[in-house]
Structure 1
Amino acid sequence: MKIYTLHTKQNLPITIEEAWEFLSNPKNLKTITPDYMGFKTLSGDEKPMFSGQIIQYIVTPVLGIPMKWVTEITHVMDKKYFVDEQRFGPYALWHHKHFLKEIPGGVEMEDIVDYKVPMGILGQMVHPFLVKPKLTEIFDYRREKLIELFGEYKTE
Structure 2
Amino acid sequence: MSKVYSLKTVQQIPVSLVEAWDFFSSPANLKEITPSNLGFNIISKHHGMRMYPGQVIEYKVKPILGIPLYWMTEITHVADRQYFVDEQRFGPYSLWHHQHHFKTIDGGVEMTDIVHYKLPLWILGDIANTIMVRRQLQQIFEYRFTAVEQRFGKWPVEQDKRVIFD
Q: Establish whether residue 31 from structure 1 lines up as the match of residue 32 from structure 2.
A: yes
Q: How does 1:71-110 map to 2 (within 5 A)?
A: 71-110=73-112
- Residue in 2 aligned with 1:50? 52
RMSD, aligned α-carbons? 0.9
1:124 to 123, 126, 135: 126
- Residue in 2 aligned with 1:115? 117
Give the ranges of 4+ consecutive aligned residues of structure 1 lying more than 2 Å apart after TM superposition. Answer: 44-47
State the distance in 1 between where 2:131 and 2:7 align. 15
1:31 alignment partner, SS class: helix
Count residues with an aligned counterpart.
155
CA positional deviation for 1:25: 0.5
Query: Could you list the runs of 5+ residues in structure 2 that have no partner in the other structure?
Result: 158-166
Asked if the contact 1:30–1:40 (Cα under 8 Å) also holds between the matched residues in 2, the reply is yes
Asked if the contact 1:117–1:123 (Cα under 8 Å) also holds between the matched residues in 2, the reply is yes
State the distance in 2 between where 1:19 and 1:140 align. 18
TM-score by length of 1: 0.97
Output one character per residue of 1:108-130: Cα deviation in whole Å (capped at 9) or x when no partner.
00000000011110110121120
Q: Establish whether residue 9 from structure 1 lines up as the match of residue 10 from structure 2.
A: yes
State the distance in 2 between where 1:88 and 1:125 align. 22
Query: Could you list the runs of 5+ residues in structure 1 that have no partner in the other structure?
Result: none
2:98 alignment partner, SS class: strand
